[in-house]
Amino acid sequence: AAAEWKPGLSWTQVWTLAGRRGLLSGTAVVSSRSQVLGHESVTVPAGTFMAWKVSIKTVLDAKMGFVPLHQDFPEQIQWYAENVGLVRTEDAKRRTELLRLQK
């Protein structure tokens, strides 16, 4: 719960995937590490919110047949407002913001 968040808090999520398409099979492990950076005011089209700023770093390690694949994804920053949820997400190339909030 966001009420328990504090700067420096971190957690990791890991997804293990396996699949087959025709004769080709593959496996993948996606690891996502999140860390709370702080609590700050953020303004988006839906309004201004006090939100938790969270850094997310994601890594993919996969194998398709005999071919290994490693991908480090760009860091993503997300802002979460209590009783609202995700209000902004951005990385080096794009930004997504909450446009409207209906209560």
* Half-sphere exposure (Cβ direction) of 34: Cα atoms closer than 13 Å: 15
Contact by Cβ (8 Å): 24, 65: yes
Element (H, E) at 23: none
Q: What pLDDT score was predicted for residue 102?
A: 87
- Among candidates 36, 50, 33, which has minimal Cα distance to 7? 36
pLDDT digits (tens, 9 = 90+) for 4-49: 899 999 999 999 999 998 888 999 999 999 999 999 999 999 999 9
The type of residue at 44 is: V
CA–CA dist 3, 45 (Å, integer): 24
Would you state the torsion angle of the CA atoms of residues 44, 48, 54, 58, taken in this order, to the nearest 10 degrees?
-10
